[in-house]
Chains A and B, each alone.
Chain A
Amino acid sequence: MSIITIGLNHKTADIELRERLAFEKDKIVFGLQGLLELETIQEALIVSTCNRVEIYLSASDETQSVVSACRFLAKFHNIDFEKLDIALYKHTGMESVKHIFRVAGSLDSMVLGEPQILGQIKEAYDLALSAGATGLILNKLMKKAISVAKRIRTETRISENAVSISYTAVELAKKIFEQLSDKTFMLLGAGEMAELAAKHLSRTGVKNVLVANRTYERAVALASEFNGTPVRFEDFKEKLLTTDIVICSTGASNYVLNKTEMEIIVKKRKHKPMFLIDISVPRNIDPEIGNLDGVFLYDIDNLQDVVDSNMSQRLIEANKAEQIVKEELEIFNKWMHALDAVPTIIALRNAADQIKNDELVKLFNRLNGIGEQEKKAIEAMAGSIVNKLIHSPTAALKAEDEDRDMLICAVNKLYKL
Chain B
Amino acid sequence: MVIFFELALTFYMISMILGIVEAFSASRYTSIGMTSATVIGFVLHSTNLIDRFILSGHMPAISIHEAISLFTWSIVLIFFFIKYRYKIGLLGSFIMPWVFGFMLIASAFPREIQPLTPALNSFWLIVHTMLAFLSYASFGLSCGIGMMFLIQYSFVKSRKLGDLFKRLPSLNILDDVNYRLIKTGFFLLTLAIISGSLWSQTAWGSYWLWQPKQVWSLITWLIYAMIIHLRLRVGLRGRRGSILSILGYAVTLFTFFGVDILLKGLHTFL
Contact = CB atoms under 8 A, between A and B. Distances in A.
Q: Do A and B come from one complex?
A: yes
A291 to B, nearest CB: 9
Nearest to A177: B172
A293 interface: yes
Given A271-B238, A294-B239, A176 B159 contact: no
A267 to B, nearest CB: 8
Nearest to A244: B172
Interface string A155-185: 0000011000000000010111111000000
Interface stretch (B110-118, B205-213, B229-237): B229-237
B180 interface: no
B171 A305 contact: no
A71 interface: no
A302 B157 CA distance: 11
Contact of A298 (B159, B169, B238): B159
Interface SS, B side: helix
B159 A270 contact: no
A296 B172 CA distance: 13
B159 A293 contact: no
A273 B172 contact: yes
Contacts of A309: 161
A269 B172 contact: no
Contacts, number: 52
A306 interface: yes
A273 B171 contact: yes
Contact of A306 (B152, B161, B170, B171): B161
B230 to A, nearest CB: 10
B186 to A, nearest CB: 20
A173 to B, nearest CB: 9
B240 A293 contact: yes
B173 interface: yes
Given A293-B239, A306-B159, A306-B161, A176 B234 contact: no
A272, A273, A298, A302: residue with the most chain B Cβ atoms closer than 10 Å: A273
Give the one of A174, A269, A272, A290 with max B CB within 10 A. A272
23 contacts: A160-B166, A161-B166, A172-B156, A174-B170, A175-B152, A175-B170, A175-B171, A176-B156, A177-B170, A177-B171, A178-B169, A178-B170, A270-B237, A271-B235, A271-B238, A271-B240, A273-B172, A290-B157, A293-B238, A293-B239, A294-B237, A294-B239, A296-B157
Interface of A: 160-161, 172, 174-179, 269-273, 290, 293-294, 296, 298, 302, 305-306, 309
